Structure 1
């Protein structure tokens, strides 16, 4: 972990620029050793032959796609999952050559051409989409086959062909000369719930679809169903590959899955105290005076705000760590700054480092803490930190 005594140059994952660490008002620390640990630990749940897809969409859930992808592949991942064509192109331009599955739908000729040019592997969700791909590949005189992955809807009601229509769907794609079926997969809607009713129903539907495909004589080289929650839930969901997102970043999809594997949070958010002052009893703090001092107080201003990804709805309802001590945030969170009540800490100074999310000593503040207060999920919190905060890799 970086300490306030350190003075060294680091690289920003977000922009590719180099920053002098001591000049930063706020930043995100990415512990790549923790990421590697998480992948190794999750791999222990899998059979040796089971493939591991590291999901690095949305800039690796805000952690920095390129560095996360490289670390994941060194630590036991076999391939990568992204949401969009540009996300896949970013990884290719960084020199990453493993299979990259685009999990989102792609339909335009321009997208098809970019997929071919960058050797990406698309998800095919419908017969219509398959025909679009086939027509475009014919038009550009594509002289090979494009590996595609067929998505079945077993109960998510999002992307994919209805599982009951899988036979006709797979037969159509198999008949198209320029398309090669790399896998058939589906996605679980409630794998993070202790109630397994819906998950079990989806599991049965997926097995039924697989049986239908086999009965018509089509061999599928890879089957996959499990997301992070499915991967941690039961090995019957693993099939030939698992697709792991949240768990590689050190978070459990649900409380009831916390005993399955030892995960370490990868991301911490830090910022600096920019100003310290004393206010008198009755003084209002920040916009709208949503906080009124009940006594003489010492407050610290910290250079991070909602433009950096701290939800404004946490105003007067969050804590941070200074020197391993939890202190409350007070007043409305502003675009670039927050205020803290540091009356309980006598020696807080300008440039002191504040842990917004992360751990110091025996105390910690997690994305799950914020998610609980905001009635949301940790996925959203992790993805919310803006790229004016440089990502700093540490080991």
Structure 2
């Protein structure tokens, strides 16, 4: 082999190695196609470059160039997905940590891949975790309106094709404001007509799964007309999202809180735990807990709302840490103590209220947080 030929091959190897190194961390599909052009050389240049690149990047994340089309499409660092780039054979053969449909569904950045995955034969039944259940667990109310029509139809198809999607968190997601604005709440109507939300077969309290805004909707009234009750929607929740009453209270959605109190007045003072192994909790104490309310500025308004509807600040908090919500508020040094235990001027007709026992304010606030399910 002539010296000129050797130098030419070395130069080609250097160019190929440079391209590979540049593409190692974040490779777009267009760059991959460019590299493929280098690979058409019939010499050993490309193999030499790949070998050198493998030695240099040993221990680094897998290069996008070494992934198949599905792996690359579902790896965010590999750049934007290019429609038409998936190979059907790659759907069944990949080394992804998780089901491809679940990975694509739970991350809105990867939603553009969904339509092509489904069109080329991907099936949700092959996923241990249903794609929509995974999405609802991490995205209670995704920005559905920013998705393309094809993506939205893919999400609807998953809801209708995979019966395992009928779960507490998914009902919450499809009834949230973003879903309603995108017209995806029609999934719930489809499930209802198909009998998938029947009181005795759903396996969870559907009214408690609805977004608080949706309780007073025609859909909520349909559920009640079919026998669903507030009482049956209390208790353990099979999902990551909170119970319906707790979410209404957390967001100071007074219309929804009133809906629950009208049907289950006992909730003003005691709420069943939504997770196994937890204690019942007291709404007044939960509202006083720092960080609970979505809008802390509405704390006093929410306390006043509960007091006006029968919440008793002198009832013991479950768990025995405090004798009353008043004692808990004192321990927190809450400015709302005067609202919970207003001073009363002693008169002949109104004797002075007895001061709470000294032990009432002794325990620490974080102990109460533990007993309140936090």
TM over 0.5: no
User: For the pair shown, which has the larger CA radius of gyration, 1 or 2?
Assistant: 2
Q: Compute the TM-score of the two structures, normalised by the length of structure 2.
A: 0.29
